[in-house]
Structure 1
Amino acid sequence: MRVNRRVGLGAAGVVLLGGLLPVQAASAAQLPATLQLECETANPDIRVPWSADRPFELAGGVDYNRVCVAFIHNLPPAGLAGLRASYTISAESVTASGYTAQQLSRTIVMNAAITDGGGLQSAETWPWKVNGDGSLTMESPVFSVLPHGPGTTANGAITMQFSAGSGLRSAQLPGQFKVTGAQGTVQAGGGLHYVADGKSFPTGTAGTFKPVTPVRALDTRSAIGAPQAPVGPNGEVTLQIAGANGIPATGVTAVVLNVTATNATQNSYVTVYPHGQSRPTASNLNFTAGQTVPNLVTVPVVDGKITLYNAAGTTDLVGDIGGYYTSAGTGSRFTTAGPTRVMDTRSAIGVPKAPVGPGQEVTLQVAGQNGVPATGVTSVVLNVTATQGTTGGYVTVYPHGQSRPTASNLNFTAGQTVPNLVSVPVVDGKVTFYNAGGSTELIADLAGYYSGTGSVFVPTGPTRALDSRNGTGGVHAPIQGGKKVNVPIDSWRNGVPPFGATAVALNVTATNASTAGYVSVFGGKQATPSSSNLNFTAGQTVPNAVITPVGGGVWFFNAAGNVDLVADVAGYFTAN
């Protein structure tokens, strides 16, 4: 969190325009304290009172606006414990803004640092809650304001860093700031003036995840989900998601689909995007003539449909559904866990040390291992890699003890190393890996899991956040071997709030590689892992989906040679 050094306790020398205005509510249940609300100006040495009549101007599309501070003064000598602070925008204010409560909760975020004389107590994002009456409330964790040392008095401060995404219209949002404890409440008005930047950014409805046993929803080779014909150059097919293949007819916000391109006549790429929307510049699959390439895609669903576009030549497209996100609140929430290697048949990690033979299976225990809870896990996200295959084949990952589906997750040729992200339901705490032909080594790296707690998914993309070929994301050259680059994925320019997001869903593509190698993608606060997300040979273009923690950007590590990297954001995970 970026906090101006002059804001907070002991901000000596700061001028407050308009005088000191401590405010306390006239109430029978009065907390024995006063509130003083102030906000920074363009001059960090000058602050102004923050009130309903003097709202804080919040610039849209700006990652870090200036800060506001709630000073807590005039407490009893012993201080107060068990306090909770909150900020509420009334239902009337929400309605008058022209935005829905859900839209405002995705557009405005706030990170707060709570301090008293003893120093920092907490620094975290306060998530919005949409109340039953349509109002919005963000709330702090429980905290205390206590004296520290003989002769000291109890004084506290809550320093709030606001941030706002893009929007088409400005809005006045009168608000109420409260501090509540066992003895009562003290409150003061503090409005926000959201100043839109005139830009529209696609942000879908937050959803929880419903895993399904992989089901084939599209196959242009056999008229499943679309006419029986390859997709031509600049051609598109539209796939009905809602109301088909066991997916509900309503409430579906995004779908998780394993898309495979095969029988391509030319080098090309495929873009999967929301139906009826403008086609983005991002791509999901890149392939050469004759190559079979799968990739996991998470895409917003609009009007119950998605669209798949092929750039050049003709290609057959296959789509297997692994799950969907729903606004009904009946699904599971995501928790990051990794990247951690949980299976490697080359070294007896998770399963016996031996290649998986033709028509054979291995079963992996995931629940109760590697940070995954022993119970309550509905689905797991793994980056699965097939390597050292003796013949061409495919791998299917599916719930333990269930009938094996006809869908596949990885397709490979002899000697090829192919990774693909997999989201698979967990049954009896386990998942099963099936190899169709020859023998192959299998590797699985854990990215996270779904359960009753964790984060919801907000679909936003696809949006290009990194392209080292043209400087997008601040990277202006291929990534050198043994080096890593940090990209500020958590930024409004990518549709991701600069704080409050727990993870991001990306499609990462490696291209122009000078030698065989691999790339690892991981959170900005994580150490470089031993696991990989993409494996490639010299000159090969390889895409793969990645779900990684976010906060402090995202790291991209290249193991060897030089390689260009491209990353497209599909959406982000957040607490509410």
Structure 2
Amino acid sequence: MKSLRSAVVVGTGVLVVAGALPLQSAAADQPHIYLSYAQCDQPINTWFDWQKQPLQVKAGEDAGALCRVEFGADQRGAKNVKLALTLSAQSVADSGYSAQQLAQRLSVRSFYSTAAATDRRAGRAWVVNDDGSLTLDLPAHDFPAGGTSGSPDGLGVVDLEISGAPSAKSVLLQGRLDLTADGTTEKLTKPISINYVGNGGSVDLGAPSTLVPVSPARLLDTRAGIGAAKGKLGPDGTLTLTVAGRGGVPLTGVSAVVLNVTATNPTDASHVTAYPHGRNRPTASNLNFTPGETVPNQVTVPVVDGRIDLYNQLGTVDLIADVSGYYTPGDAGSRYTALATPARLLDTRAGTGAAKAKLGADSTLTLAVAGRGGVPAEGVTAVILNVTATNPTDESHVTAYPHGTGRPTASNLNFTPRETISNQVVVPVVDGRIDLYNHTGTVDLVADVSGYFSASGAVFVPTGPARALDTRDGTGGIQGKVGPRAIALTVGRWENGVPPYGITGVALNVTVTNTTDSSFLAVYGATPGGPIPDTSSLNFSAGQTIANAVTPNAADGVVFANHVGSTDVIADVSGYFTTG
């Protein structure tokens, strides 16, 4: 076995990989491929053979256990050299988990020692095979003739890090490593095993799903008796809302629903929480309001038995809910691509995306979204926008809907004169455009895009609300108000219900409270050393508590940047996006 070069210890997890594969004889005119070693690191910095000793993956530990594999080809070089890790169908069946459940619970990332920095942290997705086995395919590696880096042979070093979700039981999984390359009949196979060590915990991960956008439709209005009894929701009260089979949502096959929920006519300072029907109510909140306010917010809620629950803490309040889409397991819908940073598509104050003029009463503005701000010119089914209304002259509302379709009765933003308010919207795209309608008075509109849906991209995994950040008590590792600066949060943590590797985006409900000044918060994907984007996610005034949904890129964490003054920031996770 060759000596291990530049061993790197990541975290305190434990993983195991084994020694050299037995080499098969290769035909004289074929490249020869080989596996030099496959070793894993223990916390005491000793390395051992994966074939002789099971890999130890400790449930609930975010820091993955590390394995290093060296493989390559002789001086003739080789093309499309592939390394794959497969867990056997029998082993998966014996575990008591389904193949899909295991695929979600074993989070893996890998990188080559020669890879560019931007590619070194890529998460890898398990493939569920027809026979019930799981396969993890690593990117192909080419080895030029004559060797690389002064070596007589072409060598590749790949690091594997595996992290396991909280698990109630321990599972021993049997599998193998396979090495193949173009132009050779060699297939080198090594048996391995993984000991997934349970910790008595669990994580509630929904089925990987894709979005089906729908034209906004009203599912709930307690003022009119739509979707529930006519009458306000009282203090410490819970309303169960049926979403399946209504407003374009099918009766079955719904894993989560996207709603615009509006609280109006409240009698007390309170909050509303949307969560999966019948589950324990979380500490998370979705809408925060004071007496007499009308406050909207978009929510993405896992659906149980076709229903969701809405809870009000204090006083009485009317609730309105408009559906704009739903998630369904599998690939029947569209996948999400989160932009690296949000981009401004509309600002009527500056003439960006439309004429430099306020939108008038009973007027509609058509906004081109395709081919702008990182959104592709074709193939887009829906976009996620943060829409801000500012400088309104009258009490009014704005509705976002698919271009050229009949305007729905639903609303996305509700505001009063001189108020500035934001709300995230998911809008189906028709001919590359969407429409924005203002009811009364005049208003300036600003729209920032954070991502889009199409045939390619990431799937959504609903998790239910979980608190990932609260600067009031240090949740998320950050304590103390956020001044005019930026803070970074690692969202990929098992305690948030989110795997540490492989996420591309996250669905957050972000709340600001204890604000000292009129300001705005920009929430976006972390880019080391990158500038703060010229976009906003929440707009607030001194003393206000307000929330907004945000769906940023999360591959390297999420940044929260406050403009002026100081504020406490709270973020609740309702799901994540991942390749697969």
Question: Fold-level match, TM-score > 0.5?
Answer: yes
1:530 equivalent in alignment to 2:538: no
Aligned to 2:399: 396
Alpha-carbon distance between aligned partners in 1 of 2:188 and 2:113, rounded to the nearest angstrom? 18
Task: Map 1:138-537 onto structure 2 (within 5 A).
Answer: 138-146=136-144, 147-148=147-148, 152-182=152-182, 183=184, 184-337=186-339, 338-480=341-483, 482-525=484-527, 526-537=530-541
- 1:334–1:456 Cα contact (<8 Å) kept: yes
Aligned to 1:15: none
Aligned to 2:570: 566
Structure 2 residue matching 1:496: 3-state secondary structure: coil
For residues 50-82 of structure 1, the C-alpha deviation after alignment (integer angstroms, 9 at most, x for no partner) is 02x521000111111321122226x32223221
AA aligned opposite 2:418: G
Give the 3 Å change call, closer, same or farther, for CA 341–150 of structure 1 in structure 2.
closer
Structure 2 residue matching 1:103: 3-state secondary structure: helix
CA drift at 1:123? 5.0
Q: Please list every run of 5 or more consecutive structure 2 residues that lacks an aligned counterpart in the other structure.
A: 9-15
Instruction: Report which stretch shifted further, 204-213 or 183-192.
Output: 183-192
Task: Map 1:69-148 onto structure 2 (within 5 A).
Answer: 69-72=68-71, 75-115=73-113, 124-146=122-144, 147-148=147-148
- 1:114–1:120 Cα contact (<8 Å) kept: no
- 2:391–2:444 Cα contact (<8 Å) kept: yes
Instruction: Report which stretch shifted further, 531-540 or 80-89.
Output: 80-89
1:575 equivalent in alignment to 2:575: no
- 1:117–1:156 Cα contact (<8 Å) kept: no
Alpha-carbon distance between aligned partners in 2 of 1:243 and 1:121, rounded to the nearest angstrom? 43
AA aligned opposite 2:64: N
- 2:19–2:50 Cα contact (<8 Å) kept: no
Alpha-carbon distance between aligned partners in 2 of 1:473 and 1:450, rounded to the nearest angstrom? 29
For residues 502-538 of structure 1, the C-alpha deviation after alignment (integer angstroms, 9 at most, x for no partner) is 0011000011111111111111125311101000111
Alpha-carbon distance between aligned partners in 2 of 1:383 and 1:195, rounded to the nearest angstrom? 42
- 1:40–1:67 Cα contact (<8 Å) kept: yes
Instruction: Report which stretch shifted further, 465-474 or 412-421.
Output: 465-474
Structure 1 residue matching 2:154: 3-state secondary structure: coil
AA aligned opposite 1:139: D
Identity of counterpart residues, as a percentage? 44
Aligned to 1:58: 57
Aligned to 1:34: 34
- 1:117–1:148 Cα contact (<8 Å) kept: no
Give the 3 Å change call, closer, same or farther, for CA 210–117 of structure 1 in structure 2.
closer
Alpha-carbon distance between aligned partners in 2 of 1:94 and 1:376, rounded to the nearest angstrom? 37
Normalising by structure 2, what TM-score? Answer: 0.93
1:21 equivalent in alignment to 2:19: yes
Alpha-carbon distance between aligned partners in 2 of 1:433 and 1:120, rounded to the nearest angstrom? 38
- 1:461–1:569 Cα contact (<8 Å) kept: yes
Runs of 4+ in 1 over 4 A off after TM superposition: 25-31, 116-123
What RMSD in Å do the two structures reach over aligned CA positions?
A: 2.3
Give the 3 Å change call, closer, same or farther, for CA 540–123 of structure 1 in structure 2.
closer
CA drift at 1:340? 0.6
- 2:220–2:319 Cα contact (<8 Å) kept: yes
Alpha-carbon distance between aligned partners in 2 of 1:312 and 1:139, rounded to the nearest angstrom? 52
Give the 3 Å change call, closer, same or farther, for CA 199–220 of structure 1 in structure 2.
same
For residues 377-417 of structure 1, the C-alpha deviation after alignment (integer angstroms, 9 at most, x for no partner) is 11011000000000110000011100000000000000000
Give the 3 Å change call, closer, same or farther, for CA 40–213 of structure 1 in structure 2.
same
Instruction: Report which stretch shifted further, 404-413 or 128-137.
Output: 128-137
- 2:506–2:553 Cα contact (<8 Å) kept: yes
AA aligned opposite 1:232: G
Structure 2 residue matching 1:376: 3-state secondary structure: coil
Instruction: Report which stretch shifted further, 199-208 or 344-353.
Output: 199-208
AA aligned opposite 2:365: V
Aligned to 2:12: none
Give the 3 Å change call, closer, same or farther, for CA 140–20 of structure 1 in structure 2.
closer
CA drift at 1:188? 0.8
CA drift at 1:122? 5.6
CA drift at 1:246? 2.3
